Amino acid sequence: MNDDRLRDLLEKMTLEEKVGQMVQISGEFLEKGSVLTGPMLEKGFTNEAICLAGSVIGIQNAATMRRIQKNYMERHPHEIPALFMMDVINGYRTVFPIPLAQGCAFEPDLSEKCSSAAAREAASSGIHVTFAPMADLVRDARWGRVMESPGEDPYLNSLYCRAMVRGFQGEDIKYSGKIAACVKHFAAYGAPVAGRDYNTVELSENTLREFYIPAYDSGIKAGAEMVMAAFNTVNRIPSTGNKWLLKDLLRKELGFDGVLISDWAAIEELIAHGYCNGRKEAAEKAFGAGIDIDMMSGIYSEHLSDLVRSETINEKEIDKAVYRILRLKNRLGLFEHPYKDAGEEEEKKYFLCQKHRKLALEAAEKSCVLLKNEGEFPLKIGRKTAFIGPYVNTNKLTGSWSFTGDKKEIVSIKEILSEYPEYTENITCMQGSPMIEFDMELKGFDEEEKEKISGDEIEKMLDDAEEVAKEAQSVVMFLGEHFLQSGEAASRAYITIPSVQKRLFDRVYNVNKNISVVLFSGRPLDIMDISRKANAILLAWLPGTEGARAIMNILTGTAAPEGKLSMSFPWSVGQIPIFYNSDSTGRPYDNHIQQDRFRSRYLDIPNEPLYPFGYGLTYTSFSISEVVLDRTRISRGEKICASVLVKNTGRRTGIETIQMYIRDLVASVVRPVKELKAFKKITILPGEEKTVCFDIGEQELSFYKSDGRYGCEEGKFRVYIGTDSRTDNFKEFILE
């Protein structure tokens, strides 16, 4: 439909019909069996409002979508099709590693492909918009939703956000297999105080702009059709009603012109925040801040029309919002093809197809991070090995958002062993313990987990595991958080493996010190004790559909680990929030030199995390030369080239991620001690040397200065090049 016709349509619509477009209801109102991802409040939805609601959340199959769309359009006065939206986070039926794991691959292009595959499958089920990517920067591992973010670095997150938007949307969302992306949660949802979900966010404007905004901005620049406002406050104003945030910053400064949606029931939550005195005021404030679609509070359908009639809201403003929504429907081609790609044949063709499975395997292999390895991995053929732990025996290898992923299609480590016949006869598998304590209950979006294993049964499991461990030459333990211990509303104060698994680890360690660990998790964990005792640790995160195969490929050496941490693993919870790009203090502490006692440090633990950002080992080793600069002074507009010579000093071909960090030594505002500005992944043969160069110009040296403007300042800079954020390999240059 051309734009004139779209505007004609808008003109013909009544006020109620227009407001209807701004209302989102859950599939539940239309069909049983949809997924609920938030609380169901008492809704103010009348039958008429349901008939006019412009979008639906949570429908997840083609047949249902087609039926709903048909009925809906038949009833709708202008036959306007509904938009179908859902959370397609890290895959649909084929599940890829959780976004935090994908961040560790340091390969945004790979995530673009994963998002594109997810879009293909979701589009087949009739989904038009996904509530992804989540661009929230994360620094606090207590927060359960760190699993949904690529990590703690603004540069890396920006690359990922752009890649994912491109993957979902492709060249044009009208094309077959493409869906619209929604960048979320604007803004700074990833910074709740004390890591407690939905909690207050308290940031300076400078920190907000410099660390948190870039990833959203990059998704918007990549053409994301939608943005979701966050639940949290920013500067004491809830984002959903924050005019400065949504109008001045998002719309005017960042130039976002697409549809702005609230989070689930967030307009209603303006009342609980104590920011609005009732539903009517909440409607007025959310609309006044620029929210186009009300997700699941019913408040817009209840109050917007009256607010227009009482002249509190100007209908012209409503028209602008509705135009954006209709334009999105039009860009998706829904006026001509209201079912777009939805079809059972399509579902059969794309769900878990070979191409997607292959991609899921590649992504899972590349996102595993080898944290420690004292010669344990790859496993040795012919060595009597015990595989012990609850993750040996489970197919629950996906994150909490993967409710559309079919667990029946996922095999466990134990099941996949038969594909590795040279190892099978020497490996004994044993569950050893339940995943979580027998009295712990966990709730997901569509499932509830309570393991019904009694205390006595657990003791027996532990005894059996100990026996098997005694007999083995080495033990690999498959341990970790339950997949429902991370995700939304899954903040934790003790970020350890479940205590029953800790008991299992201790029992096994007591009888066999040749112990290594494959760790599963949706967040960085406190693994200090495991890290001291285990000879090797492979971090598998929640690796998705092909997780077991990826892990076995790595353990057997068919593949080598190459992931790098995109979020620091803390020494202990007491360090949190911890991130590599922190500011220098006036009393910096250097544990390599003797210093007086009045320093910025802990008395009982180091300042450094256990495993830092950018860190990860592989099956070979590398040496890196000193940094070489092609000049030591540059002027504005010029570039300097910094290079290193990287040599593979081991015996197998390896992949290394060479990282370049900048430090601005003196500036009008205090600068971070290091900031990632570029990285390159290279493959090197044994004995081979490769030169890796990075160009540095104004872009890499810019920041928000004391006058609030973005740019760089003259003076001295350090360029660090290394294989993780701890690198001390630097040279200095001057910007004149």
Query: Shortest approach of ligand BGC to residue 263 CB, angstroms?
Result: 5
**CA 355 to mean position of chain CA atoms:** 23
Site size for ligand BGC, by CB under 6 A?
8
Complex with ligand BGC: residue 53 or 578, whichever CB lies closer: 53
CA neighbours within 13 Å on the CB side: how many for 463? 6
Nearest CA among 336, 350, 334, 318 for reference residue 84: 334
Enumerate residues 488-507 that contact ligand BGC by CB under 6 A: 488
What single-letter DSSP state applies at residue 626? P
Q: CB neighbours (10 Å) of residue 28? A: 17
Enumerate residues 167-186 that contact ligand BGC by CB under 6 A: 184
- Report the residue from 21, 26, 37, 239 that binds ligand BGC according to the rule CB under 6 A: 37
Nearest CA among 40, 465, 47 for reference residue 264: 40
Cis bond before residue 378 (omega within 30° of 0): yes
Query: Shortest approach of ligand BGC to residue 140 CB, angstroms?
Result: 17
**What are the residues facing 672 on neighbouring strands?**
583
- Catalytic pick from 263, 294, 664, 724? 263
Complex with ligand BGC: residue 96 or 733, whichever CB lies closer: 96
DSSP H or E segment with residue 66: helix 62-75
CB 64 within 8 Å of CB 72: no
Residue type, 732: E
Complex with ligand BGC: residue 38 or 298, whichever CB lies closer: 38
- Report the residue from 143, 212, 256, 264 that binds ligand BGC according to the rule CB under 6 A: 264
Per the structure block, which two tokens stand in for 171?
């060249």
3-state class percentages of the chain: helix first, strand second, coil last, to nearest 5: 35, 20, 45
- Give CA–CA dist 132/181, Å, rounded: 6
Complex with ligand BGC: residue 167 or 654, whichever CB lies closer: 167
CA distances from 470 to 423, 514, 532 (A): 19, 10, 20
Complex with ligand BGC: residue 262 or 373, whichever CB lies closer: 262
Residue with tokens 């005694």: 470
Nearest CA among 478, 350, 481 for reference residue 415: 478
Per the structure block, which two tokens stand in for 193?
């105080």
Query: Shortest approach of ligand BGC to residue 196 CB, angstroms?
Result: 14
- Give CA–CA dist 89/443, Å, rounded: 19
Query: Shortest approach of ligand BGC to residue 615 CB, angstroms?
Result: 29
* Per CB under 6 A, 60 contacts ligand BGC: no
Q: CB neighbours (10 Å) of residue 148? A: 30
Is 263 considered catalytic here? yes
Enumerate residues 461-490 that contact ligand BGC by CB under 6 A: 488
Query: Shortest approach of ligand BGC to residue 120 CB, angstroms?
Result: 20
* Per CB under 6 A, 263 contacts ligand BGC: yes
* CB neighbour class for 236 (10 Å; exposed up to 12, middle 13-18, buried from 19): exposed
Q: Cβ contacts of residue 311 below 8 Å, gap of 6+?
A: none
Complex with ligand BGC: residue 150 or 614, whichever CB lies closer: 150
Q: Kindly tell me the number of DSSP H helices and DSSP E strands found in the chain.
A: 23, 29
CB 112 within 8 Å of CB 167: yes
Complex with ligand BGC: residue 26 or 158, whichever CB lies closer: 26
Query: Shortest approach of ligand BGC to residue 41 CB, angstroms?
Result: 12
Query: Shortest approach of ligand BGC to residue 640 CB, angstroms?
Result: 41
Enumerate residues 102-141 that contact ligand BGC by CB under 6 A: 131
CB 158 within 8 Å of CB 211: no
How far is it between the farthest Cα atoms of the chain? 81
Complex with ligand BGC: residue 87 or 675, whichever CB lies closer: 87
Query: Shortest approach of ligand BGC to residue 239 CB, angstroms?
Result: 12
Complex with ligand BGC: residue 399 or 434, whichever CB lies closer: 399
Query: Shortest approach of ligand BGC to residue 33 CB, angstroms?
Result: 16
**CA 551 to mean position of chain CA atoms:** 21
Enumerate residues 358-387 that contact ligand BGC by CB under 6 A: none
Complex with ligand BGC: residue 281 or 488, whichever CB lies closer: 488
Nearest CA among 475, 486, 484 for reference residue 530: 475
Complex with ligand BGC: residue 25 or 554, whichever CB lies closer: 25
Enumerate residues 438-457 that contact ligand BGC by CB under 6 A: none
- Report the residue from 20, 27, 38, 614 that binds ligand BGC according to the rule CB under 6 A: 38
- Give CA–CA dist 95/98, Å, rounded: 8
Cα-only R_g, the chain: 26
Query: Shortest approach of ligand BGC to residue 47 CB, angstroms?
Result: 24
Nearest CA among 535, 469, 462, 463 for reference residue 500: 462
* CB neighbour class for 734 (10 Å; exposed up to 12, middle 13-18, buried from 19): middle
CB 351 within 8 Å of CB 86: no
* Per CB under 6 A, 619 contacts ligand BGC: no
Query: Shortest approach of ligand BGC to residue 472 CB, angstroms?
Result: 44
Q: Which stretches does DSSP call E strand in 175-225?
A: 180-186
- Report the residue from 87, 136, 466, 656 that binds ligand BGC according to the rule CB under 6 A: 87
Give the footprint of ligand BGC on this chain (CB under 6 A): 37-38, 87, 131, 184, 263-264, 488
Catalytic site residues?
263
